[in-house]
Structure 1
């Protein structure tokens, strides 16, 4: 069941976005967070948290080629205009925050005032070296900030309920200043795969809520039974010629 609140008013969005304008000139950055447990529910206004000042330094996303051969966008050919690695292969044992400044409203009414999710795509790339599975999220209106990290369980936004996921390891993806509903409260995701993916390590995904500018999904992963292995993850960002902004999460086969 999809969980979200009634649409935010334009006035509320403009007030919530005022703090973001202070960082509007900053490029997107990657920050490893150490200011709370991975599954902490944040109830503050929908604005990316700033650096803690005591954690590891901010790492700028690495540049990339104009085309990633492993990308197969939903409903169209592989036509990225820009491409970069936002988070290289690694284990996000603690939450990692990739920040993008958002100036709401990102579009005129009746479009949503925040970047809105329009599609999800998933595919297995077992023939690549290294082999991996990918789930991609397609947004209109720009890139939102987002946080990823391993958690004991994925909690739903607004309720704190556990999101049921397959597998024995769980990755939480939390988009900040993003939504999946329009101004009338209607669901904006027009294309998405069955949640039971059944890839070698990426077994499935689940919706974790769309609440006050926070949009959450969980990934269910499978590692060897009794193993403390943590699968490596990579994040790519692409801007397509059709104006969609794609955030692709790759999970290694092993």
Structure 2
């Protein structure tokens, strides 16, 4: 019997292919180890007239961009922003139009969403000792014992006349881990928020980041927090 040798390069290709996983629908994607999630992800820009090819423009479409992991070092998702095809005069940046929350007990997480008119901005999410406001650095009052900073850049939550484009008063949520949120600044293209958490063990719970595009073209960034 003659033994056939397999080239080392081909063996490595086979091993790498076996190790790859595919992100499934919301709630069904694999949960990577907290030590393996990359700190920074760059998302290629989409053509001006169409959304990214891997995000369908249908209600409920979603893709994971980071996690599940503990963002002790802030998780950063980079979007090279292009000017949107249509926008209101004086709105050169992605504009926040809504903040919403929802609980998913069966899937084991709570969610807060940030919806934008225009392209998806870059964003950064990480645990901080205290959330402070953009520009002034004043403390932001939040419930709980652990705090997440959520920052969008470039982005804004006001129109050309300075009027607010989204309802963003501080809000108590009262979910098992996600207790509340508050705006932390809209300053020179930097838009930030704080999330107040109550982890069951007093530490830091894993989070997951994702994106979707609604049928009306609104770009949505989601932050999911483990319930326990």
Q: Which TM class, normalised by the smaller chain length?
A: 0.7 to 0.9
1:230 counterpart (204, 219, 227)? 204
Match of 1:200 in 2: 176
Is the 1:96–1:147 contact (alpha carbons within 8 Å) kept by the matching residues of 2?
Answer: yes
The normalised TM-score by structure 2 is 0.72
Measured in 2, the distance between the counterparts of 1:193 and 1:160 equals 18
- Offset, 1:180: 0.1
RMSD of equivalent CA atoms: 2.5
Give distance in 1, aligned partners of 2:90 and 2:62. Answer: 26
SS of 1:161 mapped into structure 2: coil
Q: How does 1:1-254 map to 2 (within 5 A)?
A: 58-59=40-41, 79-80=59-60, 82-104=61-83, 107-110=86-89, 112-128=91-107, 131-190=108-167, 195-224=171-200, 227=202, 229-254=203-228
Call closer, same or farther: CA 1:188–1:90 in 2, change over 3 Å. Answer: same
Gaps of 5+ in 2: 1-37, 44-52
Residue aligning to 2:10: none
The Cα shift of 1:224 comes to 3.4
How far has the Cα of 1:127 moved from its partner?
1.7
- In the alignment, is the contact (CA less than 8 A) between 1:121 and 1:193 conserved in 2? no
Give the drift of 1:149.
0.4
Aligned-residue offset at 1:163:
0.5
- Cα distance in 2, alignment partners of residues 110 and 211 from structure 1: 19
Runs of 4+ in 1 over 6 A off after TM superposition: none
TM-score (norm: length of structure 1): 0.65
Which structure 1 segments of 5+ residues have no match? 1-55, 68-77
- How many residue pairs match? The answer is 182
Give 1:252 deviation, angstroms.
Answer: 0.2
Larger CA Rg, structure 1 vs 2: 2
